[in-house]
Amino acid sequence: MIDIDRNRLIEIIKEIVNIPSEKPDGNEMEVGHHIFTFLKNLGFAPIKQIVDEHSFNILCLIKGTSEGRAIMYNGHIDVVPAGNRELWSHDPYDCVERDGKLYGRGTCDMKGSVGCILYVAERIANGEIDLAPDLLLTFTVDEENENKGIIQLIQSDINVDYCIIGEPTELDIAIGHRGVSTHYIELFGQNCHIANSDGHRNAIHDAAKVIEWIEGKNTELRRENSLIGYPQWKVTQVAGGIKSNVNPEYCKITADRRFIFGETKDSLINDLELLKRTFPEMTIQYGLVSYVAPALEKESCRAVHDVQGAILATEGKRHAVKEFEAGCEQSFIQQKGIECIVFGPGSLKQAHVIDEFVSITQLIDYVQIISALMGNPS
């Protein structure tokens, strides 16, 4: 166990939380520069990997003393938009400590985790953690949007034993997640005065029927279950209509589909085709917005073994091995042939919400476990 300087850990996290890096409405340039400079000032040699004109990934290899072992940490440095700031008890970008928690956008998802690993890097630089394996730190952009960062990162030459994504799992070990696919569905009606609209298609009324149909399908889908959870299909956005007295000629629905192994890009399309056949009287078009494959690692893998070993060494007990309820970028890393698990501080219940927070106790425990993992070859 190492002595943890609580104030310093919190200071590092506050610094990165207080730099907004919202996706899709902002960018990660400033927080990227901050993390890059932080690592450079420690004497390491971070590399910027340009993703687009507004953002770059950071890779930083820290050499360990035990030849031939290497562990990768991955964390995204973007956050979801804070939304209506008046609903927050505090400014989401002025991170505060209250009742043993750190509040602010990204504290839980996932700058608290990123701050912990930066703290560990600082302790390594100061010679206070004797790093055994090589540690490859990777900080990616655009995770909350189109996964541009990870898609770029996996083009790199990466040779590690396994990867830990530090997304919030409440310090349990997550070995898989459902796939996430988003489609838009467009409904087309006829433009006319609402006073004289009988017999004209109303795109919003049509959308209502489509939404109800999707809800029915969702009930069916949820009967299935698997190691990574159940399939789900829910409408998350609706936009349509131009004025209270104009018959709506257009309505766009966006729907989020969580899917499991056995379902494919094509089978998801089949459901959309079935939708079209169910309502032949409507004009319906659809298209793909984003797609992330499901992921599952074996419970007997090296990463789970090592992390459980580090947890046991610090806490004298094991933590649960489970699925990650949200989507993350595990499948991208697995597709590269790298063993990968998800393990980090904070609860998903506090991610993407007003008054997002992370427990400071979990941050400290995370630093202890990661330090044990890095220091003790098993």
Closer CB to Zn ion, residue 112 or residue 240? 112
Q: In angstroms, what is the minimal distance from the CB of 350 to Zn ion?
A: 12
28 binds Zn ion (CB under 5 A): no
User: Using CA of residue 325, residue 290, residue 215, residue 249, what is the dihedral sign?
Assistant: positive
CB of 208 to Zn ion, least distance (A): 33
**C-beta of residue 260 within 8 angstroms of C-beta of residue 226:** yes
Contact criterion met (CB below 8 Å) for 129 and 120: yes
**Interface with Zn ion in residues 216-245 (CB under 5 A):** none
The H-or-E segment that residue 215 falls in is helix 203-221
| Binding of residue 110 to Zn ion (CB under 5 A) | yes
Size of the site for Zn ion (CB under 5 A): 3
Burial of 193 (0-12, 13-18, 19+ CB in 10 A): exposed
Q: Is 109 in the site for Zn ion (CB under 5 A)?
A: yes
Residue 356 binds Zn ion, judged by CB under 5 A: no
Q: Report 158-187 residues binding Zn ion (CB under 5 A).
A: 167
Q: How far is the CB of 21 from Zn ion (least distance, A)?
A: 12
* Residue 78 in contact with Zn ion, rule: CB under 5 A: no
Residue 328 Cβ, how far from Zn ion at the closest point, in Å? 6
Q: Are 93 and 104 in contact (CB under 8 A)?
A: yes
Residue 289: name the closest of 158, 146, 149, 159 by CA: 146
Distance CA 100, CA 112 (A): 14
Output the residue with the shortest Cβ distance to Zn ion. 109
Any residues with CB less than 8 A from the CB of 212 and at least 6 apart, and which? none
Q: Which two tokens stand for residue 278?
A: 């169910």
Binding segment for Zn ion among 55-63, 89-97, 106-114, 125-133 (CB under 5 A)? Answer: 106-114
Using the minimum distance from each CB to Zn ion, give the nearer residue, 113 or 202: 113
Cβ distance to Zn ion smaller for residue 214 or 343? 343
Interface positions with Zn ion (CB under 5 A): 109-110, 167
